[in-house]
Amino acid sequence: MKIHGSHFLITGANRGIGLAVAQMAAKEGAHLYLVMRQNDQSLLDNLKKMGAPNVTIFVSDFSKRSSIDDLIKKLTSVPVDMVFNNAGQLTGGLLEDQSLDDIYNMFQVNTLSLVHLTKGLLPGMIQRGRGKIINNSSVSAFMHFPCATTYASSKASVVAFTQSLGAELEGTGVTTLCLITPGIKTRMFDEISIKYAKNLRMPLDSISPEHYASLIKEAIIRDKKVLFPRGQTAAGLFLARHFPLLFHKMIKGYFKR
């Protein structure tokens, strides 16, 4: 699908992968609708300078169901044809050590808000016969590390949701793209070593958000259904998906209770 001239909505757009994708889409000439928890007007000028014909910010806190309802209402007159469900939170550590409030919040943001917003925007897309839903999952959806119980299950759910929806939308002109995101050097990536370090110590690979945004651009233009990681992470992912017992044997050495 062409990015130039599209009406591109991005959640979690104020930093990390979301911001890098906003910058990529601005350079491609997309109309931008940025969703964030706190209004950051300083982003507007830069993105316009980069090539976005217009940029609009919407404030929404995805930990609140009513805030997503309000956002969907505000978007009624916007002909969104590309939505990047990207906002996310990380939980981690031994299950008994994780805060229950954090777990509820994380599932709400990573999974339920993504389903909620997609459901809200879908009727318009189907009516216009055009659209793409891009959902940010993770290698954790398949690589089931200890300490990642809750986060990994939120991201596995995103994969299942996206694949089911993609099948349901065949012939409507609306397509899905599921990102099996590897390590990307963002604030969340830095949080991994803090939240998991007590029990899991393993070398982590990462690429820059800007590089990842360029891979996402390619996947959008080529209408890929899934964007898998490349390089060393691809080998680990292959092992986890096809030889899970071997994968678990391999990572056992990095974990201690």
* Catalytic residue set: 137, 151, 155
How many positions of this chain bind ligand NAP (CB under 6 A)?
A: 24
Q: Are 187 and 16 a contacting pair, CB within 8 Å?
A: yes
Distance separating alpha carbons of residues 56 and 67, to the nearest angstrom: 17
**Interface with ligand NAP includes 183 (CB under 6 A)?**
yes
Only segment of 25-33, 81-89, 115-123, 124-132 that touches ligand NAP (CB under 6 A): 81-89
**Interface with ligand NAP includes 236 (CB under 6 A)?**
no
DSSP codes, 36-94: ESS--THHHHHHHHHT-S-EEEEE--TTSHHHHHHHHHHTTTS---EEEE-------S-
- Contact pick of 6, 86, 98, 118 for ligand NAP (by CB under 6 A): 86
- Contact pick of 6, 14, 118, 150 for ligand NAP (by CB under 6 A): 14
Q: Are 220 and 132 a contacting pair, CB within 8 Å?
A: yes
**If DSSP codes are grouped into helix, strand and coil, which group holds residue 6?**
coil
Query: In this complex, which beta carbon is closest to ligand NAP, that of residue 17 or of residue 239?
Result: 17
Identify residues 113-142 at the interface with ligand NAP (CB under 6 A): 136, 138
**Interface with ligand NAP includes 111 (CB under 6 A)?**
no
Query: In this complex, which beta carbon is closest to ligand NAP, that of residue 174 or of residue 237?
Result: 237
**If DSSP codes are grouped into helix, strand and coil, which group holds residue 153?**
helix
**Interface with ligand NAP includes 24 (CB under 6 A)?**
no
Q: Binding string, 34-73, against ligand NAP, x = CB under 6 A?
A: ---x-----------------------xxx----------
Q: Which amino acid is at 58?
A: F
Region at 51 (left for phi over 0; alpha for psi -120 to 50; beta for the rest): left
Identify residues 156-175 at the interface with ligand NAP (CB under 6 A): none
From the DSSP assignment, how many helices (H) and strands (E) are in the chain?
10, 7
Residues of this chain that bind ligand NAP (CB under 6 A): 12, 14-18, 37, 61-63, 86-89, 109, 136, 138, 181, 183-184, 186-189
